[in-house]
Amino acid sequence: METNQQKTFSNQNNIPRLPIPTLKETAERYKKSLLPLLSTSDYNRAANAVDEFMKEGGFAEVLQKRLYDVDKSEKYNWIETIWLNKAYLEWRDPSLINVNWWVEFNDPATGILKNPPPKGQISELQIDRAAGFISNLLTFNDMINNELLPPDQTRQGPLCMDQYTKQFGATRIADSPSDRIITTWPATAKHIIVIFKDQIFKVQVLGGGGERVPIKEIKRQLQFVVDQVNNTTELQPPIGLLTGEHRDTWATARKNLESSSAENKISFEAIDTALFGIALDDYPTDTDIDISHLNFFHAYNGRNRWFDKALQIIVANNGRAGVNGEHSPSDAVIPGRMFDYITSNEPAQDPPNVSSIELSPPQYLKWVVDTSIMNTIQQAQINIQAAIDNVDAVLLHYNEYGADWLKNAKISPDAFVQMAIQLAYYKQYREPCATYESASTRGFLHGRTETVRTCSVDTVAFTKAFCDPNVKKDEKISLLTKAIKSHIEYMISATNGCGVDRHLLGLRCQIRDEEEKSKATLFNDPSYVQSMYFKLSSSNMSPGLNFHCGFGAVVPEGYGICYVIHKDKFKLSINSYKKCKETDSTIFRKLLKDSFDELRELLSS
């Protein structure tokens, strides 16, 4: 049977469970990852702490046994619940900037409007494009619901398709002490939410029996929303701002809103169960993509958004479009496949099974608020603006060469970009730092990611040699080749479920409150936190044919670097924080561009 005839989830029963690495292999790989980050004396202390923890009959063996018990009790894999809670739902800082990711689509073939309407108005191109995206997303949802999407595969075998069931109708719910996530599959809701001028509408986009409608009917629904808002004298408060607040603040406000009014509960239910969100912005993006991408990152002021929806398509009134996505239910590569689908099928065509029914009018969501909630919203605006003003985000679209040239040179494109990032960082600071690259573990059931610790003894040797004019070119090439080989080895281990970070997290989560914490010598040693203080956090979003994307830095003194590798170019976003005097995204971009130039010159020689 050919791949295109297979049902979406036909391989699920053949996909293995995620393995639990042995204590020995984790100990050895972990100690190796500490070498480039610690002095000799600090390393010796850390290595002793690891050995004490991992020794035969030691505390790690007790925790490992409990982890095996977790594996037996979990339906799909041992880290799934731990990771969802620790990486996302228990995280209390605002999702905006810290968790959510953004995507900016390529402009349509017709281009964006050179003379868009003034602020406060919308455009026909904007409505056309938004309606087309809605229709194409509904088609993609049909493909998932009816198992018509061909299953993903690599040369190593089939990939788990579970994350596709967590795209539509997915919402993060602010709660205390931990958030919740709602996902549904099949996703059979008939409505989406549309936000315009901070006003939120429940908008039907499918018939009562799930019938598909022409795109012109969806456009009519969007126009209804715009007209309703423009003709309303008393606008609803910007409740969406609360989704960009601290999670505890938002959880308290949400509970107060739900308990104080039946109307509020109805509004929340409409938002939570919506297939996805559409934000129509009544202003154009900047013509400079270095500035325009910020609209999809944070909207410049956090307005006209609902940051808790897993998928939120954003269209500005000049026609430029993108996405802001909540990270909890899935990793960005999955929606990335959807985005390439909906953009490569522009301009959208009516589905073949189109029905001529008329949809019921959009429902204006109303809110009953008191003085306390209004004060919380006002403070949210202040806090969000401060967070946004702290963002230092730039793009690097490098067009000199790409994957084809590297493959001809028999070099892994991903490992090469990682080496360029290491080199740029070393040029800026003359020292290495802990580095995170996301590796997919979708070769296992419900697999998500594992950390590749890019910074290694070999990357340090390479970056130091490269910046030393006394080292010959042949030696530099040899050290680059060795560093790339090291990186690929770690990537293969991580992809096969044998990195160190998820295993150590799993072990740490088995320590019980009543137990003597001093026995956890590995976790008590400062090297544990130090080795996870990722001043470089990176993710490869290739192929990303029709978009570029990004996310915030994960530590105050760090950089968040997202990249897409094409045949003939690289597209990167570089994010840091202005409050940190040691980081500067513009300087890092220049050093990274220089690194790409110089590495090509080195390899060409």
What is the distance between the alpha carbons of residues 132 and 345, in angstroms, rounded to a whole number? 9
What is the distance between the alpha carbons of residues 157 and 11, in angstroms, rounded to a whole number? 10
User: Would the CA dihedral through 321, 553, 275, 121 be positive or negative?
Assistant: negative
Q: What angle do CA 517, 519, 523 make, to 5 degrees?
A: 70
Amino acid identity for residue 342 in this structure: I
CB 232 within 8 A of CB 380: no
What is the distance between the alpha carbons of residues 20 and 497, in angstroms, rounded to a whole number? 8
- Report H helices in 276-354: 289-297, 333-344
What is the distance between the alpha carbons of residues 286 and 295, in angstroms, rounded to a whole number? 9
Specify the residue for token string 């049977």: 1
What is the distance between the alpha carbons of residues 151 and 134, in angstroms, rounded to a whole number? 23
- How much of the chain is in helix, strand and coil states, percent to nearest 5? 45, 15, 40
The one-character DSSP state at 85 is I
Alpha carbon separation from 222 to 89, 139, 226, 268 (Å, rounded): 33, 18, 6, 20
What is the distance between the alpha carbons of residues 137 and 278, in angstroms, rounded to a whole number? 11
Q: What angle do CA 83, 93, 381 make, to 5 degrees?
A: 145
Helices then strands, counting H and E runs in the chain, come out as: 20, 18
Alpha carbon separation from 567 to 104, 143, 153, 389 (Å, rounded): 20, 29, 21, 35
Q: Residue 125 belongs to what H/E stretch?
A: helix 124-145
Question: Dihedrals φ, ψ of 287, to 5°?
Answer: -70, -25
Total number of residues shown for the chain: 605
What is the distance between the alpha carbons of residues 454 and 308, in angstroms, rounded to a whole number? 31
In 454-595, the DSSP E strands lie at 536-540, 547-550, 559-565, 570-577
DSSP states along 392-410: EEEEEEE-S--HHHHHHTT
Residue 158, classed as helix, strand or coil, is strand
Specify the residue for token string 């959880």: 251
Which residues are paired to 278 by β-bridges?
A: 194, 313
- Count the Cβ atoms, other than its own, within 10 Å of residue 180: 13
CA 165 to chain centre: 17
CA 320 to chain centre: 21
Most distant pair of Cα atoms in the chain: their distance:
75
Radius of gyration of the chain from its Cα atoms, rounded to whole angstroms: 25
For residue 298, indicate whether it is catalytic: no
Q: Which two tokens stand for residue 553?
A: 């830095």
The one-character DSSP state at 87 is I
State the catalytic residue, choosing from 327, 446, 487, 566. Answer: 327
Residues designated catalytic: 327
